Amino acid sequence: MANKTEGLTFLQKLQKLQECMGGFAWEKDGINRYQSYKYITEKQYKANFKKALKDAGLVWKVQQLEYQYIPEISDKMHMVICKFKGEIIDPETGEREEYIFFGSGSDNGDKALYKAVTGGHKFFLASNFNVAEDNDPESDADEVSKVGNIPPPPEKREEIKQELTDRDGQATKMQINSLKKALKMLREKDPEQESFIAAVAEKTEGFTNITKQACETLILEIGKMIEMYDNEEMRN
């Protein structure tokens, strides 16, 4: 059987990869019942990307470059920010396209790193291959309500109560403003970081629930990200 990508250049294979990813019937197959919205699961992203790579005659390689642990971003909640380098490679010629992207995840247990890895990969695929995923909760509220919302368990209700009443160690107004300015600069450097910025806003409940330590750490890490983009601009 003839190879469908035989004779194609690396650029043509990348174009074919884009076409394959855009040709899938993407479905929101996951449900967040606590916040009443549907989303495309990591399983679907990975399965479709794997098939698209095969059809385009390309391979994918990814490695984690940096890892930053941010304790107590809010009460009992910690956050992880990861920096990744991904490469799409033509195994026939060795040509490759390199991507740098970030992922963030928060959890009150041990799943923050896993969420950062999966979230980073999902956002990379969504932003680079035009996967439409409108996660506006309002757009899915009616559909999700048909399935039924699950009330939070007693321990979750107590956690929410503590987050609302225990404000010790919260970031100052000046810190919050500095964080917002840093995120604005990051957006200007790379609009594709919008997903990361949205994640920070969500995890901090609209910048209203974040500790002083976590806020300072975030500002420093975002500063490093901005510096990386500045260095790239200087090299180019």
pLDDT over threshold 90, residue 210: no
Burial degree of 147 (CB within 10 A; 0-12, 13-18, 19+):
exposed
Average pLDDT for 114-120: 83
Which residues are within 8 A (CB) of 166 and not within 5 positions of it... i.e. 6 or more apart?
Answer: 75
Helix spans in 135-172 (H): 137-147, 154-165
pTM for this predicted structure:
0.61
Q: What is the dihedral of CA 29, 41, 78, 190, to 10 degrees?
A: -120
Q: Which helix or strand (DSSP H or E) is residue 218 part of?
A: helix 212-235
Query: Alpha-carbon distance 166 to 76, whole Å?
Result: 11
Question: 137-192 pLDDT, tens per residue?
Answer: 434 444 444 444 444 555 555 554 444 334 457 888 888 888 898 888 888 877 77
pLDDT over threshold 90, residue 97: yes
Which residues are paired to 39 by β-bridges? Answer: 30
Pairing of strands 59-74, 37-39: unpaired
pLDDT at 159: 52
pLDDT over threshold 90, residue 32: no
pLDDT at 59: 96
